[in-house]
Structure formats: C-alpha cells, structure tokens
Chains A and B, each alone.
Chain A
Amino acid sequence: MTDTEGVYNHPGITEPGVDKQPTVSGVFAVTPEVVNQPDVDLLGEQIDLAQELADAGIEDVFELLDKELIGLAPVKTRIREIAALLLVEALRRKLGLSGDPPTLHMSFTGNPGTGKTTVALRMAEILHRLGFVRKGHLVSVTRDDLVGQYIGHTAPKTKEIVKKAMGGVLFIDEAYYLYRPENERDYGQEAIEILLQVMENHREDLVVILAGYVERMDRFFASNPGFRSRIAHHIDFPDYSNEELLAIGELILAKQNYKFSPAGREAMANYIVARKKQPHFANARSIRNALDRARLRQANRLVRGGATGRITANDLTTIDAPDLLASRVFGQSAATQTSLSEETESSFG
C-alpha cells in the first residue's frame, strides 16, 4: 500500500478497504502500531485482553450504564456478555481468524418505562467503540416513521429511515404495530419486508433493535418468523422493584438539583406502592412524571404558602411530603383501601 501513497494524498481519497472493515476504524484506531504488522507476527503474539478492553473504552460505557441505570441486573449481564463476544470477535478479525460478521440485531422486550431506549443508546455506543458500527448514532422510530399513508408511500419512507440509520443503530419502538393481521392490506407488511431485506444484506452497515411489550412482541415474532431468525439477541427487561423505583426517583431529582426531605422520601415510597396498583403504570416514566408534578406543587407551595416571605436555597431544592401527598393517586387508593398510613391520609384530607 505504501507505493500508492501519492495517489491517496488527496483529502477525499482514502485507501480502498479502510472504510469497509469496521474493525479497522474502531479497534485499530486506538492501537495504530498494530496495523502495519503482518498477520503472521500477530498469530504468535500474546494479546492482553484487559488492555484491549481498556483500549476499546467500553468499561466507561459500562460504568455509565451502572450509574445511570438502577437495577436491570439481567440486562446488564447480558450486555456484558454480548460486549465480550464482540471484543473476542474483533480480536479474531484482527488476527484474520473470523469469517462472517456476527449478527447483531436485537430485540428488547419489557414493560413501558423499563429503560429500553436508554439501553439502546448505550448499546449503540458499545457497538461503536468495538467497531461494529461505524458512526454509533441511534435513530429511534415507530410505526408512523416507517409506514406510509397510501400505496407506494411505504417503501421510500422506510428506505429513507434505513439510510439515515446506516452506520448506526435503528431502534424500532413498539415494533409489533408494524404487523396488523386484522387488515390484510395494511402497508406495515411492506415495511417489514424491506426491513428483513436490509437486516440480511446490510448486516455490517446497521444494527436493528426492536422493542416492545413482551406478549405482543411474542405474537409479532410468531407471525413473522423471518424476524425471529434474524435476531440474535433477545433481551428481556424486568420490572423495577419498589426500592429500585425510589432510587430512580432520587437519581432523577439529583440530576435536576433537587432532593427529598426525609418525609418526602417516605411519601414517595408510599406513592410508588399506591401508583403500582393503578392501571397504566409505566415504571420509571411514571416516576418521572410524578416528580414533574411534585415540582409543580412545590413551586406553588413556595409561592403561595410562604408566610414569612423568605426562603432558602434548601427550600428551593427540597421536595417535601405535601408535594407528593397531594397526588390524585392517594385520593383513589385512600378511598378503596386502608393500607396507607394514618399520616398519609390525614395530610391528604
């Protein structure tokens, strides 16, 4: 390659093949000295796996994942497993041992608000650091973005999205909506066909992640066996426990420079128990919404209630019990059950 260097001096012209193999741009980018060595030398060489892991920088992503995402232990384990597989695969490729690129398409199943999108975002980063996608961006879409309104509209629309996602990760939220068995002329089928084709033919160009609720996704896969067979990793997101939800709440508040007062924390724990019994509970998303409303009430309380007229920074950052106990959730559950503490009911009334 050295004798043609003159030709490649133009900024636009790079050596052929440099962009084609994702490993080269990813893993090799951190250890450039390896590039010039022929494979024969590498075969006998000892490879420091820990060093490779550190070089790829995925430990940072894991740390971020651990810090940002409470709970989800099975998901984290699974992602570490996939990352280990990818790292080994990248090393094998470096030694010229590997054949086909691995299938990386995934499906994330779990109830709403269990962190599927957040994990997908981190997944894109992990894949990028290991060199399995070239750009590492996440394109998040739903049925509306893929399926058209009239005949001939769907294919260009889906292709447009696929083109946007190339070099990164295509995240299809609530993917089961693509398939509507009750309407045989539904255009979703067309989008599915294009996606299947892309997932097969452009495996090194993009990674598709499908997400949705467990039962509906199962039904979706049952009626589209092509999808199931093209997806290598099925990851199930469990619901959060009450303690985890409380921890998530504290994390959300901390990010916005708020905190719970001890009574507020207690009220939040009670709120979670009560909210879980109601319909449409969306895990972390419900918690976030509840806290948004609590902030509203806190602001209201400070503006109207301040008899002294003077407030401290502490007042501005503290979510107290009344801010949460004013919630409608307590009103309904207090009427139907008596499990809530006296204190809660009295302050509500």
Chain B
Amino acid sequence: MRITQGCFSFLPDLTDDQIRAQVQYCIDKGWAVNIEFTDDPHPRNTYWDMWGLPMFDIKDAAAVMMELADCRKAYGNLYIRISAIDSTAGWESLRISFIVNRPEEEPGFHLQRQESNGRNIRYTTHPYAADRPEGQRYASRSIKTNKAGDPLVSLNKDSAGSGLGSGNSR
C-alpha cells in the first residue's frame, strides 16, 4: 500500500528534479528547509526524526539535495520527507511537507474493529511494519550509487513506473 501524506500526495512520487524545484521555491520564499525520516508510517505520527538541523541560511537547493542524498544513503529504506518552515509571523510555522523517499515494500495497515457499548464500533489503524521493533521494520535495501557515492535513487522506477512527464497514471 503506497502511503501518501502532505503536499502532492495526489501525484506520483516526485523526481529529483522536481524535488529540487520545490526546494528552490521554498528557499526563494525565505523558508527554512528541513529533512526528516521515520520508520513508523502511521498518519498520526507527526514527530519524525530530524536529519540534522533545519537549513536556515542557504541560497540554493543543491545544498538540500546534497543532504537528501546523504540521508538516503543512511536511511534509503525508510520514509523521508522534506518540510519547510516560515518565520515571517514571528514564530516558525510549517508551510509545506512532502514525502521524498519511501521503502521498497510498504506492507500497509491493519484495520482493527473494536466492539464497544451497544453496537458501537471503534476503529484503529495499525501499520503492519510497526509489529517489529524500531530499526527492523523495513528491509535495508541495497542502494546503487554513482561514481561520487551519491545514491541513484529513482523512486518511480520501483513503484510508480514513470515520472510526471510521461503522463502515466496509476
């Protein structure tokens, strides 16, 4: 089950060029860009692990792409998202957040129905992946790297089949 969260969740996974363009948009708006990762895909899990500090005074998306490549090298088998925070109001508020990396296998969620008073039913979603302890939830995948050691991760190759340009809908 392909998990979607945040912005562009209705689109196929963004290609690296598209991610770069989005990040540049955030930087041009003056937002700080942040990279986070997690292996707990529950939609109510808002506190993901941070990959370093948010990047506050950068000018070009290449810096974020470099960090993203490093993060993928370390946690290429987990969910990674990029978020941008805006401080113009005097406090930092989240403006955008989108998934940029996902595990190869996404087992999905179990829907639990609890029968309570009367004929009421309470629903709980539980990710199958969370049955295993943290750190063992997704198989570590072998990442092909280029000459420079940066991972050649193209999400669409594995899951979505193609990028935005070809118009291949799932």
Contacts and interface: CB of A to CB of B under 8 A. Distances in A.
A166 B21 contact: no
Contacts of B59: 135, 137, 164, 166-168
Interface stretch (B111-119, B122-130, B160-168): B160-168
Most buried by A among B22, B63, B67: B63
Given A4-B167, A201-B150, A164 B58 contact: yes
Contact of A167 (B55, B62, B148, B149): B62
Contacts of B63: 162-164, 166-167
Interface in B44-78: 52, 55, 57-63, 66-67
Contacts of B61: 19, 167
Contacts, number: 74
Interface in B144-168: 148-150, 163-165, 167
Contact of A163 (B25, B67, B164, B165): B67
B17 A19 contact: yes
Most buried by A among B25, B149, B150: B25
A134 interface: yes
A151 interface: no
A202 interface: yes
A135 B62 CA distance: 11
A205 interface: yes
B97 interface: no
B20 interface: yes
A307 interface: no
B21 A18 contact: yes
Contacts of B62: 134, 166-167, 202, 205-206
Most buried by B among A3, A166, A168, A200: A166
Given A16-B17, A19-B21, A163 B150 contact: no
B87 interface: no
B15 interface: yes
A11 interface: yes
A78 interface: no
B160 to A, nearest CB: 14
B136 interface: no
A16 B17 CA distance: 5
Contacts of A18: 21
Contacts of A202: 62, 66
B18 interface: yes
Contacts of B25: 11-12, 14
B4 interface: no
A17 interface: yes
B142 to A, nearest CB: 21
A133 to B, nearest CB: 9
Contacts of B96: 12
Nearest to B21: A14
A292 to B, nearest CB: 31
A328 to B, nearest CB: 42
8 contacts: A3-B167, A19-B61, A20-B20, A134-B62, A164-B59, A167-B59, A168-B60, A202-B66
> Lowest 9 CB-CB distances: which A-B pairs, in order?
A167-B60, A16-B17, A163-B63, A205-B62, A12-B25, A201-B148, A14-B21, A166-B63, A166-B62
